[in-house]
Amino acid sequence: MAAPFDLRFDCGRICLDLMATTGRSAERLAGPEHLAAWLVGSGVVPGSAQLGAVDRGWVVRFRMLRELLRRVVHDELCGRAAEADLRLLNAAATAAVPPARAVRAEDGALVRAFTGPPDCAGLLAAVARDAIGMLTDASERGRLRQCEGESCTLVYLDTSRGRRRRWCSSEVCGNRERVARHRRRATRRADGAVADAKAQAVGGAPVAGVR
């Protein structure tokens, strides 16, 4: 089933999934309802959490954290030092994360629940701490990859066998690349056929080397 509002949760970390809420000129955190859906879908909050306090102010703050994460992660991929941004990320992680508890669902299974309505700073801190955990884990950091899709800016964790994953999503960017490759081959074949036809017309035989 497609995620609501075209949200994606396949980048391998919560912080990377937040970064994936923008790209290709698409804004997926367009309003409070989009952010609430992302918070639940990403697992930052349990589905039972009360999110009535989510408003435009929350959206602005999560977009700001998203931009900060984008700078920090891309700098890390490029081997650049971003000390000022790291200080901002560390500061975002200092707020108290909402405490959780295990409760029984109606079917008897244990599920996570918050002890009260979460605040924005605490949820921002949860995402910031996820990023810090990723960036300070050498194994995780070594799996960071930039999607090879044309004009795609998404970053993901490559957990594939042999670490050969090339795209943020085989169904999205991978499929676009396969379609583009097919079109390039078809264009080359068509160009070759036109060249052969022209050679036949002017010389009665194909020009050497033209295919």
Highest mean pLDDT (candidates 122-126, 172-176, 178-182, 200-204)? 122-126
Alpha carbon distance 59, 5 (integer Å): 15
Domains of the chain: 4-161 (1.10.3300.10), 169-211 (no CATH)
Contact 40, 112 (CB under 8 A): no
Contact 70, 82 (CB under 8 A): no
pLDDT digits (tens, 9 = 90+) for 119-175: 999 999 999 999 999 999 999 999 999 998 887 889 999 998 888 888 887 777 867
pLDDT digits (tens, 9 = 90+) for 51-64: 999 999 999 999 99
Residue in the structure block whose two tokens are 């078809």: 186
Crossing angle for the helix pair 56-78 and 120-135, to the nearest 10 degrees: 10
Residue 6 predicted with pLDDT over 90: no
